[in-house]
Amino acid sequence: MAIKPAKKQKGEKTLTIQTASLKDSHDADRMVAELKKKGYDAYKVMGVVPDQGIWFRVRIGYYENSTEAADTIERLKKEGLDAFLVNR
């Protein structure tokens, strides 16, 4: 019997906004601190990229869908930052 992935529950916030991917953990920490000062729910996650090592991703918030995140993405882009939705 094949194992099926769990279905997304209604209201489950499975998306987040990624605004940077940095090699240096301290740079990511500084960016998170700056975003928090501006009122964003920013945080850092570590990821391993094959053949490139460890990267630190700066992300903002938790969202159920792209519509919910659209205003935040627009504000970030107006501030000159990259911003796109990713699964968390």
* 51-84 confidence digits (pLDDT tens): 999 999 999 999 999 999 999 999 999 999 999 9
Residue 13: pLDDT band with limits 50, 70, 90? confident
Inside any domain, residue 35:
yes
Inside any domain, residue 3:
no
Inside any domain, residue 7:
no
- The enclosing domain of 68 has a CATH number of 3.30.70.1070
pLDDT of 32 strictly over 80: yes
Could you tell me if 43 and 61 are in contact, meaning their C-beta atoms sit under 8 angstroms apart?
no
Q: How many domains does the chain have?
A: 1
Inside any domain, residue 21:
yes
Could you tell me if 40 and 75 are in contact, meaning their C-beta atoms sit under 8 angstroms apart?
no
CA 56 to chain centre: 11
Residue ranges making up the domain that contains 80: 15-87
pTM above 0.85, yes or no: no
Inside any domain, residue 45:
yes
Contacts of 55 (CB under 8 A, 6+ apart): 21, 22, 23, 46, 47, 48, 49
Inside any domain, residue 55:
yes
Residue 10: pLDDT band with limits 50, 70, 90? low
